[in-house]
Amino acid sequence: MSEDYPDWFKRRRRYPFFRGWFFEDVDQMFREMEKMMEEEFKTFSSRVPKDYVRERKLPDGRTVRELGPFVYGYSVKIGPDGKPEVREFGNVKPSRFGRPRVKEEREPLVDIIETDGEVHIIAELPGVEKNDIKLHGTGDTLTISVDTPQRKYYKEITLPAKVNVKEAKTEYKNGVLEVTLPKIKEEKKPKGEPISL
């Protein structure tokens, strides 16, 4: 069990503070932490899509490698059933093994508002032009995508009700896309009649 501890911790247990080992232990601890962080950064940067790696020249002539932008966030709202709804956005996704995955496309922040007759979708797409946005809808999904050299967005949304895509209305202003989809009215099933035997 004791072999699981780092060297600085083993020495710390053997030698008390007053013998002067404390500062050497702290230095060793920081060196090991730095080494671990460098290894994690190398692993992370090896999995970054090529579009997120850039090199820039500094005024003194040195070249600096830059990664990013990396975006991760979430929004929380209370749904109609009283339960919280959590929606993630960005291009960084947590993985099952603790190391984040970086996607080429950024997932925009999306809000879905359902009324009696319509479904409203509001999506934040900063930095793109209206003609760069591609929308594709079915009766129960809406896909938003942007693919430009500067920005890539992708989000497939499952709608809370069946909608009529042909009558969709859209508006894009100041980086915010609004899509209004009228709901398809469900025909009431005829009431059954009793059958006598």
User: Which tokens in the block code for residue 154?
Assistant: 């992708």
The segment with the largest mean pLDDT, out of 11-20, 28-37, 173-182, is 173-182
User: Residue 43: pLDDT above 60?
Assistant: yes
State the residue for tokens 């994690």. Answer: 40
| CATH match for 72-182 among 2.60.40.790, 3.40.50.970, 1.20.120.80, 3.30.230.10 | 2.60.40.790
Domain with CATH 2.60.40.790 in the chain: 72-182
User: Residue 57: pLDDT above 70?
Assistant: yes
The segment with the largest mean pLDDT, out of 7-11, 38-42, 78-82, 142-146, is 142-146
Which pLDDT does position 75 carry in this prediction? 76
pLDDT digits (tens, 9 = 90+) for 126-143: 889 999 999 999 889 999
Which pLDDT does position 11 carry in this prediction? 56
Q: How far is CA 21 from CA 3, 116, 188, in A?
A: 20, 71, 81
Residue 18's pLDDT band, with cuts at 50, 70 and 90, is very low
User: Residue 5: pLDDT above 70?
Assistant: no
User: Which tokens in the block code for residue 64?
Assistant: 């600096």
Round to whole Å and give the CA distance between 63 and 54: 10
Nearest to 175 by CA among 133, 134, 124: 124
Round to whole Å and give the CA distance between 197 and 194: 10
pLDDT digits (tens, 9 = 90+) for 70-129: 777 777 877 778 888 777 777 777 666 666 666 778 888 898 988 889 999 999 998 899
